[in-house]
Amino acid sequence: MPNGPLAAHDGPDRWQAEFLTWVGEEVRARAFDGHTPVLPIRRAVSKGHGVGGTVLAAWLVHWILSTRPHSRGTVTANTNDQLETKTWATIRRWTPWCLTAPWFEVNSARLYHKDFPASWFCTPQTCREENSEAFAGQHAEDATSFFIFDEASAVPNLIYEVAEGGLTDGEPMAFLFGNPTRSSGKFHEACFGARRDRWSPVILDARTCRFPNPAQIAEWIADYGEDSDFVRVRVRGLPPRASSLQFIDQDRVWAAQRRPEPVVLPDEPLVAGVDVSGGGEAWNVVRFRQGLNARFPAIRIPGEVTRQDRSAFLAQLAELLTKGHHGHPVAMLFIDTAFGAPYAERLQQMGFKHVVEVNFGAKAIDRHQANQRAYMWNRMKEWLATGAIDPVDTKLERDLTAPGYHLNRQDQLVLESKESLQERGVASPDDADALCLTWGAPVVPAVKQPTQAPPARHGADAWMAT
């Protein structure tokens, strides 16, 4: 259609076309007869950022469902947020543009054939290990059972192992796409390790593709260096030299979500961290931690609200400091000074002395971190090994795993900035920044004043007791 949604595009990028051509050749080579099982068609793509991998995954889903009656598929991604808002959202966006769109119905939970919803479908599934059973039992003896993993580097090994069981009959297929953020795991093995011959990997430099922004790539190279881990992963499609480019790994976050309710001492102080928005899409977030427990409800207010009027948020903070949070008094409130300075100043003027400003860019307490933000994130990462966070808080989960990192020339930890995250399409990690602020400075338990009356004095100094 000359005025349709794809009018501005002249077709797939070269690498996408080569990928699809390769799949067609593999189909012809196996010559599936509808009964006799054939070897799985497998391919892994280790890619730079923004090359069109998620779009290609959507094309594969629609092609398989449109050409293989009663095919069954599962799509997953590294996080729930990635799965819902990017991978599955892209599949849903492309559905009405498909020539066979009238055959299918799509919603947030399934893409299925209208006449055969129970046997001809594709579903999104979270890749948490406790959900591994959802990947088991998927078979299509006379059609195709298929799996697509997006941002596959952070998908747990157990999910790969369970999904492998669905590639044993019919004409099975499996496709992996992702930035190689880890130098270990099944995705790394498929692209660079012992299993690469089985997966026929594509290593894709973003500079060879037409969709990424060349100016942004040039800026990354200037900032980090051609052979830095950041550029290796985000541009060149190569694994990091360190064990992981992700500063906080997904497994650590999931463990903190699954951990039993921690024991908290009665005198453990409740500490609050406030990440203040500068407007736009960022949020104002207040997060809480009491010892090993951070399973307190967060306070979240859109940045657009406070950009126009600060008074409501200020009143909410004042009430929090006065009444506490869920039955606990707030021992200390740390607030990001970048946009939070006016709030901190006003709260201190109102008599709240337990309000402290924290400058993310200030010199770190520990010389091994480049600034205070890196120091606090490092403390938070160490805490996650034993601490507990809300198991259903997908926003915090996504934020914790978002930033990358590198070491500067002084071997100091440098955490990826919010600006860099936004440039590569990742939302500002406001919730994680708010939680990290609870390590703004040591907070000791309050010393309770004795309530028992002092003993009566006798003798010459008895007058002092009157």
Task: Give residue 454's pLDDT band: very low, low, confident or very high (50, 70, 90).
Answer: very low
**Residue 95 backbone zone (phi > 0: left; psi -120 to 50: alpha; other: beta):** alpha
Answer yes or no: are the C-beta atoms of 390 and 400 closer than 8 Å.
Answer: no
Average pLDDT on 155-179 reads 95
**pLDDT tens digits for range 307-362:** 888 899 999 999 999 999 999 999 999 999 999 999 999 999 999 999 999 999 99
What whole-number distance in Å separates Cα of residue 70 and Cα of residue 57? 19
**What is the share, in percent, of the chain residues with pLDDT greater than 70?**
94
Task: Give residue 245's pLDDT band: very low, low, confident or very high (50, 70, 90).
Answer: confident
Q: SS3 of 311, please?
A: helix
Kind plus residue range of the DSSP H or E element containing 57: helix 53-67
What whole-number distance in Å separates Cα of residue 419 and Cα of residue 422? 5
What whole-number distance in Å separates Cα of residue 72 and Cα of residue 83? 18
**Nearest 5°: phi and psi at 36?**
-80, 120
Of 84, 218, 211, 76, residue with least CA distance to 152: 76
**Residue 320 backbone zone (phi > 0: left; psi -120 to 50: alpha; other: beta):** alpha
Task: Give residue 1's pLDDT band: very low, low, confident or very high (50, 70, 90).
Answer: low
pLDDT of residue 456: 47
pLDDT, greater one: 454 or 160 = 160
**pLDDT tens digits for range 117-156:** 999 999 999 998 888 999 999 999 999 999 999 999 989 9
Give the Å distances, CA to CA, from 445 to 66, 263, 335, 342, 454: 63, 16, 20, 28, 24
Give the Å distances, CA to CA, from 274 to 173, 353, 374, 428, 441: 47, 16, 17, 14, 14
| pLDDT of 385 above 60 | yes
| pLDDT of 462 above 80 | no
Task: Give residue 409's pLDDT band: very low, low, confident or very high (50, 70, 90).
Answer: confident
Average pLDDT on 17-39 reads 97
| pLDDT of 193 above 70 | yes
- Written as one letter, the residue type at 241 is R
What are the structure tokens assigned to 466, written together?
């009157």
pLDDT of residue 461: 40
pLDDT, greater one: 290 or 423 = 290
Rg from Cα positions in the chain = 27
Q: Can you list the domains of the chain with their CATH numbers?
A: 14-224 (3.40.50.300), 250-439 (3.30.420.240)
- Written as one letter, the residue type at 164 is E
| pLDDT of 451 above 60 | no
